[in-house]
Chains A and B, each alone.
Chain A
Amino acid sequence: MAVITYRQAIKDALAEEIMRDENVFVMGEEVAQYNGAYKVTEGLWARFGDKRLVDAPISEAGFIGLGIGSAMMGLRPVIEMMFFSFVYVAWDQAVNNASSLRYMSGGKINVPLVIRGPANGGTNVGATHSHTPENLVANFPGLKVVCPATPADAKGLMKAAIRDNDPVFVMESTVLYGMEGEVPDDEDFIVPLGKADVKREGKDLTIVAHGRSVLMALEAAKELSEKHKIEVEVVDLRSIRPLDEETIIKSVKKTGRALLVEENKPYCGIGAQISHLIQRRCFDYLDAPVHRISAVDAPAFYSPPVEKVQLPEAPIIIREALDMLNVKR
């Protein structure tokens, strides 16, 4: 197992899948000659050439539409969003066409499309570049949504997404690109879609999180254990849709408390869905009401210190966990 960055893990996944399957190609703004805005595709154009790395003009509706069309014809496109916030420009293609073609063709047409790119806030790029649209996309039946939180998951989920016959949104977190971690070398290493992962075992409280929030939860869990002897279990969703309900329920039944952490806005956020699931399936196992931490319900702040307060950071998670356990801080 090699220790590589999150960015490198995605690049490896793309390269391996391009080599494995001649139908796979990557398309997006500046993915080829410029080597990618966030350098995820660095070196791939030189390696695989014009046919497999395609530079697109600034025309999301156009190139996502092209991706859908080519996927319908049997290719397996990977479309890069320079920022995931730009997907709204191609909303009709992304959530209207891609999501429903298999259904509307009576199962005759598949859309093996991947839309990937950096999402979430934390990089001080302002309200229009910091969206966290996984809850919006997950709202559309027919679409799959994954949010890797570690380099290993990033590689494994990306490979699973490319091999999947339905449209999959892989939402990478901009702030995680430089994070290092162990990643299996195996060319067939995949992380199945729809499987959550218990990133830390605990008995007192379950934190359910995804993406960057998983790291915040792990940081909080470490401090809660060291300073307060509270053992937090951290469930990393990895897949937003399909959702691994059983892993969440098993953990909450074990600990009796659930704290849901997400970078989504609170209104109609993923936490609302999971909160419903828990009250429905675990009511008699709850030792405290389900608590939720989400981003402050406002457009993303540009100012770095203020944006830091807007997002779920470890100290906020620690405070909420102590409240739930009625521990004086």
Chain B
Amino acid sequence: MAEIIEMPKLSDTMTTGTLVNWLKQEGDSVSAGDMICEVETDKATMEVECFEDGVILKHYAKEGESVAIGQPICAVGEKGEEAPAVEAGGGASSDDSGKSAKESESKAEPAKEPESSKEPKEAPKSEETKGEKEDKQPKAEDAQKEEAKDASDDEDAKADAGDDKDVKVSPLARKLAKEKGLVLSMIKGTGPGGRIVRDDVLKAEKEGTAKPQPKQAPAAAAAGPAAPFIEEKTIPVTNMRSSIARALVGSKTQAPHFYLQIEVDGKPITDLRAALNHKLSNLPAEQGGVKFTVNDLILKAAAEAVRRVPAINREWKGDKIVQHGGVQLAFGVAIDDGLLTPVIRDAHAKSLRQIAFEAKDLIGKARNKKLKPNEMSGSTLTVTNLGMFGISDFYGIINPPNAAILSVGATVKTPIVDENDNITIGYRMKVGLSGDHRVIDGAVGAQYLQALKDILETPSVMLV
């Protein structure tokens, strides 16, 4: 009895997953615990585990395909067994459409009528022989045949990847056009159904039409607009990108943001970091060797400051406000095609060393898209740092359901008026805070920033 494996719910916010990669192919044997495929959720790429022993009978989803939670992705059964048929768009198939919704929902027992499962395979076959039979019929049926032929040709053309993919063109003409550097979309097809054939390419070459855009640019430059600097392209929206868009639009439109900024003397933590790294970075790990980043120190300080102003650590629940007892500290990690916010658990109770170690681990996982949903959820406060890009001040958008986000800028050398009214050289770092006014008020934000400044400027207090 074949079992249908469905798209699992891999994170709280996930509704669909993109099947990135099949780790087990059709016909491969699997045992419980094996990873069968990789799925990209709205946040991460995760491996899906198999809970059955058997053979992968059939993949219902192709690589790159987006599948809703609960829809079948593959069938596992005994070798030689027929894979259960599923309806297009997912769902276990049922040849009896009169069956109750309840029944069709219990997908663990997919309809397995051999006849209905064979149907998809046999239908094209009989159509083909029919087509060939028709080939011999006189004119009357030709129009019908022509239509069928054109329809299938269309599909062929669409299936072709690459440039000009919507152009109907024979493989030979495509190859010739490529060799001669001609643009297919500018060639008129004279083959059946408007297909571009060899003669059309040769004609276009002879007449000098269908030259590629860049070659025409100099002539057109005088009159028309210049050729684009970089080729325009369309970028598909990944699950992650659409999840970021959804979350942040929600945050910015629903949480009334207010903004505060404080200037911190960056010298003490810069010095502390230099001193620590000087002593520790060359030691082996077992002897306590570690290398800290400025960000590690800021994370530690941000968690520490919550001790002094616990009201910053709140969450808006609509009819109530929850003040969390511990700091679940998220921090922004920019990756190639998005932004992730992994969470350091119980940051208030962790040493600088632990925080540094965990942050490094999470950054590595984030960049490899290996973060698990539980490593990205449940934050109570978020820190984002653009100092490494030379940004001195900015305000982040609050990461729901947090009440605040800290935006840390670069430490900049700047003239300072000291207590004796002398102008000296100082190191200043600006820390911004975006707060959700539903939950906290300006004064709470200000107190928190003050506490943070105090800790950053006397970093030895982080040792306690």
Is residue A143 contacting chain B, with contact meaning CB distance below 8 A?
Answer: no
Contact A287 B197 (CB under 8 A): yes
Q: Is the interface of B mostly helix, strand, loop or mixed?
A: helix
Is residue B458 contacting chain A, with contact meaning CB distance below 8 A?
Answer: no
Contact A287 B191 (CB under 8 A): yes
Is residue A13 contacting chain B, with contact meaning CB distance below 8 A?
Answer: no
Contact A256 B198 (CB under 8 A): yes
CA distance A238 to B248 in the complex (A): 72
Q: Which residues on the B side are within 8 Å of A316 (C-beta)?
A: 136
Q: Which residue from chain A places its CB closest to the CB of B196 in the assembled complex? A: A287
CA distance A296 to B136 in the complex (A): 7
Contact B129 A267 (CB under 8 A): yes
Contact B136 A287 (CB under 8 A): no
Known A-B contacts A267-B129, A293-B136, A296-B136; the reply to A326 vs B190 at CB < 8 A is yes
Which residues of A in the span 282-318 have a Cβ within 8 Å of any Cβ on B? Answer: 283-289, 291-294, 296-297, 309-310, 316
CA distance A324 to B199 in the complex (A): 13
Contact with A along B432-443 (1 / 0, CB 8 A): 000000000000
Contact B170 A256 (CB under 8 A): yes
Chain B interface extent, by class: 20 to 34
Known A-B contacts A287-B198, A288-B197; the reply to A266 vs B172 at CB < 8 A is no
Contact A256 B192 (CB under 8 A): no
Contact A297 B198 (CB under 8 A): no
Q: Which residues on the A side are within 8 Å of B174 (C-beta)?
A: 284
Contact with A along B360-386 (1 / 0, CB 8 A): 000000000000000000000000000
Contact B129 A266 (CB under 8 A): yes
Q: Which residue from chain A places its CB closest to the CB of B175 in the assembled complex? A: A284
CA distance A309 to B191 in the complex (A): 28
Is residue A323 contacting chain B, with contact meaning CB distance below 8 A?
Answer: yes
Q: Which residues on the A side are within 8 Å of B173 (C-beta)?
A: 287
CA distance A326 to B136 in the complex (A): 18
Q: Which residues on the A side are within 8 Å of B149 (C-beta)?
A: 289
Is residue A223 contacting chain B, with contact meaning CB distance below 8 A?
Answer: no
Question: Distance (Å) between the CB of A298 and the closest chain B CB?
Answer: 9
Question: Distance (Å) between the CB of B158 and the closest chain A CB?
Answer: 15
Q: Which residues on the A side are within 8 Å of B135 (C-beta)?
A: 291-293, 320
Known A-B contacts A284-B172, A289-B153, A297-B129; the reply to A309 vs B190 at CB < 8 A is no
Contact B172 A297 (CB under 8 A): no
Is residue B133 contacting chain A, with contact meaning CB distance below 8 A?
Answer: yes
Contact A326 B170 (CB under 8 A): no
Is residue B122 contacting chain A, with contact meaning CB distance below 8 A?
Answer: no
Q: Which residues on the B side are within 8 Å of A296 (C-beta)?
A: 133, 136
Question: Distance (Å) between the CB of B202 and the closest chain A CB?
Answer: 11
Contact A326 B172 (CB under 8 A): no
Q: Which residues on the B side are within 8 Å of A292 (C-beta)?
A: 132, 135
Which residue, A287, A288, A292, A326, has most C-beta atoms of chain B within 10 A? A287
Which residues of B in the span 141-167 have a Cβ within 8 Å of any Cβ on A? Answer: 146, 149, 153, 156
Which residues of B in the span 105-161 have a Cβ within 8 Å of any Cβ on A? Answer: 129, 132-133, 135-136, 146, 149, 153, 156
Q: Which residues on the B side are within 8 Å of A293 (C-beta)?
A: 135-136
Q: Which residues on the B side are within 8 Å of A324 (C-beta)?
A: 192
Q: Which residues on the A side are within 8 Å of B156 (C-beta)?
A: 289
CA distance A289 to B175 in the complex (A): 15
CA distance A296 to B135 in the complex (A): 9
Is residue B338 contacting chain A, with contact meaning CB distance below 8 A?
Answer: no
Contact A283 B136 (CB under 8 A): no
Is residue B89 contacting chain A, with contact meaning CB distance below 8 A?
Answer: no
CA distance A284 to B172 in the complex (A): 5
CA distance A76 to B344 in the complex (A): 88
Which among B136, B171, B197 is the interface contact of A285 at CB below 8 angstroms?
B171
CA distance A297 to B136 in the complex (A): 10
CA distance A148 to B173 in the complex (A): 36
Contact with A along B185-207 (1 / 0, CB 8 A): 00000111001011000000000
Q: Which residues on the B side are within 8 Å of A286 (C-beta)?
A: 170-172
Which residues of A in the span 175-216 have a Cβ within 8 Å of any Cβ on B? Answer: none
CA distance A190 to B128 in the complex (A): 40
Q: Which residues on the B side are within 8 Å of A294 (C-beta)?
A: 132
Question: Distance (Å) between the CB of A127 and the closest chain B CB?
Answer: 17
CA distance A283 to B156 in the complex (A): 13
Question: Distance (Å) between the CB of B163 and the closest chain A CB?
Answer: 16
Known A-B contacts A293-B135, A293-B136; the reply to A288 vs B170 at CB < 8 A is yes
CA distance A285 to B197 in the complex (A): 11
Contact B192 A326 (CB under 8 A): yes
Question: Distance (Å) between the CB of A204 and the closest chain B CB?
Answer: 9
Q: Which residues on the A side are within 8 Å of B129 (C-beta)?
A: 266-267, 297
Q: Which residue from chain B places its CB closest to the CB of A297 in the assembled complex? A: B133
CA distance A285 to B153 in the complex (A): 16
Contact B192 A323 (CB under 8 A): yes
Q: Which residue from chain A places its CB closest to the CB of B153 in the assembled complex? A: A289
Which among B132, B175, B192 is the interface contact of A288 at CB below 8 angstroms?
B192
Q: Which residues on the A side are within 8 Å of B192 (C-beta)?
A: 288, 323-324, 326
Contact B132 A326 (CB under 8 A): no
Q: Which residues on the B side are within 8 Å of A266 (C-beta)?
A: 129, 132-133
Question: Distance (Å) between the CB of B132 and the closest chain A CB?
Answer: 4
Contact B190 A283 (CB under 8 A): no
Which residues of A in the span 254-270 have a Cβ within 8 Å of any Cβ on B? Answer: 256, 266-267
Q: Which residues on the B side are within 8 Å of A284 (C-beta)?
A: 171-172, 174-175
Known A-B contacts A256-B170, A256-B172, A283-B171; the reply to A288 vs B191 at CB < 8 A is yes
Contact with B along A240-260 (1 / 0, CB 8 A): 000000000000000010000
CA distance A287 to B177 in the complex (A): 12
Q: Which residues on the B side are within 8 Å of A256 (C-beta)?
A: 170, 172, 197-198
Q: Which residues on the B side are within 8 Å of A310 (C-beta)?
A: 136
CA distance A285 to B279 in the complex (A): 69
CA distance A296 to B170 in the complex (A): 28
Contact A287 B172 (CB under 8 A): yes
Contact A326 B153 (CB under 8 A): no
Which residues of B in the span 238-294 have a Cβ within 8 Å of any Cβ on A? Answer: none
CA distance A267 to B128 in the complex (A): 9
CA distance A165 to B191 in the complex (A): 49
CA distance A219 to B154 in the complex (A): 33
Q: Which residue from chain A places its CB closest to the CB of B139 in the assembled complex? A: A319
Q: Which residue from chain B places its CB closest to the CB of A320 in the assembled complex? A: B135
CA distance A293 to B136 in the complex (A): 7
Which residue, B129, B156, B172, has most C-beta atoms of chain A within 10 A? B172
Which residue, B135, B149, B192, has most C-beta atoms of chain A within 10 A? B135
Instruction: Give me 4 other A-B pairs in contact (C-beta within 8 A), A292-B132, A292-B135 excluded.
Output: A256-B172, A256-B197, A256-B198, A285-B172
Sample of 21 A–B contacts (CB below 8 Å): A256-B197, A266-B129, A266-B133, A284-B172, A284-B175, A285-B171, A285-B172, A285-B175, A286-B172, A287-B170, A287-B197, A288-B170, A288-B191, A289-B156, A292-B135, A293-B136, A296-B136, A309-B136, A316-B136, A323-B192, A324-B192
List 5 A-B pairs, minimum CB-CB distance, nearest first: A266-B132, A287-B172, A287-B170, A284-B175, A287-B197
